[in-house]
Structure 1
Amino acid sequence: MRFFRLNNVFEKKSIITISMLIFFFFGSVLTHGDDRADFYVTPNLPKSQLADSENYFNVLLAPHTKESLKLTLINAKNEPLTINVTAHTAYTNNNGVVEYGKDADTPDASLNWSIAALLATPGIVKLKANETKTIDITLTMPKELFSGVLAGGIRLQKVKESEGSEEVSEETDKSQQLSIENEFAYVIGEVARNEQESMSPDLTLLDVFPDQLNYRNVFSATIHNSLPTYVNQLTVEAKIKRKGSNDILYQTKKETMQMAPNSSLDFPISLAGDSFKSGSYVAEISASSGENTWEWTKAFTVKSDEAKAFNQSDVTIDHSLKWWWIIPVVMISLLSIIVLLLVKQRNLNHMTQNN
């Protein structure tokens, strides 16, 4: 498992992007920003907060109870600000990092309760110049007792009103009058549980298939965490072979990854610039987390149309004409034609002489 990480990207332009990726249990969340930050956020921890966490919400609550999660917002500018407050359910990206500030493209089928649906945020919050304001986010726990944890994040991002929004009719949705300014965002983690007992993870390999990552060919192995628990300090090693062969075509190993509760990891095995070739393959994959280990072997097929489509869009593959082999082919063809013409002419001459 990783400690929390704070990424600061300051461009030379006027855009500042600050995102906070929160890693739980062994770290705390840092909620300060750069001197140029427009606003600051501090969580006010409730009585239900567990003692081993200080700067993100980690609450122990009974089923069907509510908790008010308070955040203090400070406008550091001498002008009004508008902040958009949204809730999200944690998932695992293909780098083996847990995402808290946005949603997965598709919710995991094993997820019984999405914490984003259990959190009621105020949505749009307006701050006056240099104003300090405390907002409430209401967490409503599921009616049924559950084991493990629910995990997600509360994202706070500056928005700006579109030009001419004063002239927009009252019936127009406010969200259409606001646009995200990719300047400054906080993500405050949220973990909720009914009981403190830990749960051992259980991983399965769902699929292996041809794929692309950043327009580069990869084999993706979908590893699924079906339980409501984190998978910490995850190591995955994958080998790809042709079916019936012991030769390793491609191999990848990555350590210190983390998986969110009830989520999948599409683990990429790079082709290192090679083209996909259609045919039957076998993936041998091993994973470990603490004392837990898993091993899988899975056969899969790359279809010719898939290989062609991926190869055409891979930016590392040279799609220009290969003159080094085209020129010899053309020369051989020309020589063949010349030889055939000479033989034909010789035969004609021979026939003329006989007549």
Structure 2
Amino acid sequence: MRKLLKWVFILVGLLLGSLLGVPIAHAAKVNPAVAGAGYTVQMVRPRGQVNSTSGYFNLKVQPGEQQRLVVILHNLQAQPQKLTLGINQAYTNPDGVIDYDRYNVKPDPTLKVQLKQIFKEPQRTITLPANGTERVGLTYEAPANPFTGTVLGAVYVSQTKPGKKYGKGKITLQNLYAYAISIEMRESLKAIRPVMAMHHVGVGQVDRQNMVMANLQNSRPTVMERLNTQAAITKQGSTTVLIHQTKKGMGMAPNSNFNYRIPWGTTTLKPGNYTLHLSAQATKGTWHFTKNFTVTQQQLNHLANLAKQPKPNYWLYILLAVVIALLLALVGYLIYKNHKNKQQLAQK
């Protein structure tokens, strides 16, 4: 009975891996103790912490100051585990969310202080013994020359290898967990207003969806919060709106930029000249942009070729979901039958 259940669960795992369609699932910025990562990360509050109740490093520093930040890593597994620890600069991802999951992020031209450059060992690999705990020190030296505003990043801890892999080829199921503790470093608590700029506007494609993409930049060393946008695309010289989009609740990291995406939806842009009208409102600013761009036949051909790539077989996904449901029903039936047989034997 136990062997049968074991193989049933392995088969369900394989089918789930195929159904999800992703070789590795990243789960970043979640509590690994809850998510089942097999390890935990805890900060030790240092001197200079602006708010003693903050769950991240919120530091007020002096020029040239040196200090050692400490995080505690605890392995919850019964075997050794390798982790990569890096000091990552905050950036703004394509969804308008502040993120920390990249060690080598191309810095924005306006960024003057890179967080990893002021830490003596910005990246390392740590081997935790089975069920072991290790205190890791991270020493920084603040820039000798005074800086304004906020330098934002994180201590980013991730597994060097994903979990056990089942199956062959595309049928795989693996988990790779990561955890980030933010670092906010300032010399002055004086508020700075963000400044937004809109640069290149063009067309592209993401997940077979055609997009108009506008590069937005926060050029000041301050976090842009509660960012809402309204975008409209018209033919150049016309007031008729062809594509419209409203987005709310975004944010931007200090001194960062990202490609703001506007899906075409059911509209097909033809070769020609267009205008993007974009308004943005954040906690400390309002901006309005108007920029012309051109769509060429060559670009449309390229987008069409990208869209011709093989699409996922959703019927296969449905079939797999049905098979999984049947297998789970079988497991339930076997457990019920086994329990009933035990009751009958006990009554004899």
Bin for the TM-score computed over the shorter chain? 0.7 to 0.9
Counterpart in the other structure of 1:330: none
Matches of 2:28 and 2:270 in 1, distance apart? 39
Show CA shifts across 1:40-82 (max 9, x none). Answer: 1100010111116521111111011122110001111121111
For 2:211 and 2:125, how far apart are their aligned partners in 1?
A: 41
Match of 1:340 in 2: none
Amino acid at match of 1:266: N
* Corresponding position: 1:116 with 2:116: yes
Q: What SS is found at the alignment partner of 2:191?
A: coil
Match of 1:261 among 233, 254, 270: 254
Q: By how many angstroms is 1:102 displaced? A: 1.2
State yes or no: 1:244 paired with 2:253: no
Out of 283, 288, 297, which is 1:295 matched to?
Answer: 288
2:296 alignment partner AA: K
Instruction: Go from structure 1 to structure 2 and tell me whether the alpha carbon gap of 1:107 and 1:130 turns closer, same or farther (over 3 Å shift).
Output: same
Task: Name the counterpart of 1:62.
Answer: 62
Q: Which AA in structure 2 matches 1:19?
A: A
Q: Secondary structure at the match of 1:146?
A: coil
Change (3 A) 1:202 1:35: closer
Residue equivalent to 2:220 = 227
Q: Would the alpha carbon gap of residues 283 and 116 (structure 1) be closer, same or farther in structure 2, given more than 3 Å must change?
A: same
Change (3 A) 1:238 1:316: farther
Q: Report the equivalent of 1:94.
A: 94
Give 1:15 deviation, angstroms. Answer: 7.3
Tell me if 1:144 matches 2:145. Answer: yes
Name the CA distance, whole Å, in 1 between partners of 2:35 and 2:204: 42
Kindly indicate whether structure 1 or structure 2 has the higher relative contact order, using CA contacts under 8 Å at least 6 residues apart: 2
Cα deviation code 1:148-184 (max 9, x no counterpart): 10111121122249xxxxxxxxxxxxxxxxxxx8432
* Structure 2 length-normalised TM: 0.74
Q: Distance between the aligned counterparts of 1:268 and 1:35, measured in 2?
A: 31
**CA-atom RMSD in angstroms:** 2.7
**Structure 2 CA distance, aligned partners of 1:53 and 1:295?**
38
- Is the alpha carbon distance of 1:15 and 1:75 closer, same or farther for their aligned partners in structure 2, counting shifts above 3 Å? farther
Q: CA shift at 1:222, angstroms?
A: 1.2
Structure 1 position 84 matched with structure 2 position 75 = no
Q: Which residue of 2 aligns with 1:73?
A: 73
| 1:17-32 → structure 2 map (5 Å cutoff) | 17-20=26-29, 31=31
Mapped to 2, the partners of 1:315 and 1:232 lie a distance apart of 39
Larger CA deviation: 31-40 vs 41-50: 31-40
Quick check: 61-70 or 103-112, which moved more?
103-112
Structure possessing the higher radius of gyration over alpha carbons: 1
Shift of 1:137: 1.1
Q: Could you tell me which residue of structure 1 aligns to residue 192 of structure 2?
A: 199
CA shift for structure 1 position 111: 0.7
1:277–1:316 distance in 2 versus 1, CA, 3 Å: farther
Report the AA paired with residue 73 of structure 1: L
AA at the equivalent of 2:58: N
Matches within 5 A, 1:206-355: 206-314=199-307
Question: Which ranges in structure 1 are unaligned for 5 or more consecutive residues?
Answer: 1-9, 22-30, 162-180, 319-355
- How many Å apart are 1:245 and its aligned residue? 1.4
Asked if structure 2 preserves the Cα contact closer than 8 Å seen for 1:224 and 1:264, the reply is yes
Aligned partners of 2:177, 2:310: CA distance in 1, in Å?
37
2:182 to 176, 180, 189: 189
Measure, in 1, the Cα distance between the counterparts of 2:123 and 2:95. 32
Taking a change above 3 Å as real, the CA distance of residues 92 and 16 of structure 1, as seen in their structure-2 partners, is closer
Q: 1:315 & 1:198 partners in 2: Cα distance?
A: 50
The structural deviation recorded for 1:213 is 2.1
Secondary structure of 2:34 counterpart: coil
- 1:139, 1:44 → 2: CA distance? 15
Distance 1:46 1:291 in 2: 30
Tell me the matched-pair count.
281
Q: 1:102 to 1:302 in 2, by over 3 A?
A: same
Query: Which secondary structure does the structure 1 equivalent of 2:304 belong to?
Result: helix
User: Which amino acid is 2:102 matched to?
Assistant: K
Give distance in 1, aligned partners of 2:310 and 2:84: 42
Over 3 Å counting, the alpha-carbon distance change for 1:73 and 1:183 in structure 2 is same
C-alpha spacing 1:315/1:268, structure 2 compared with 1 (3 Å): farther
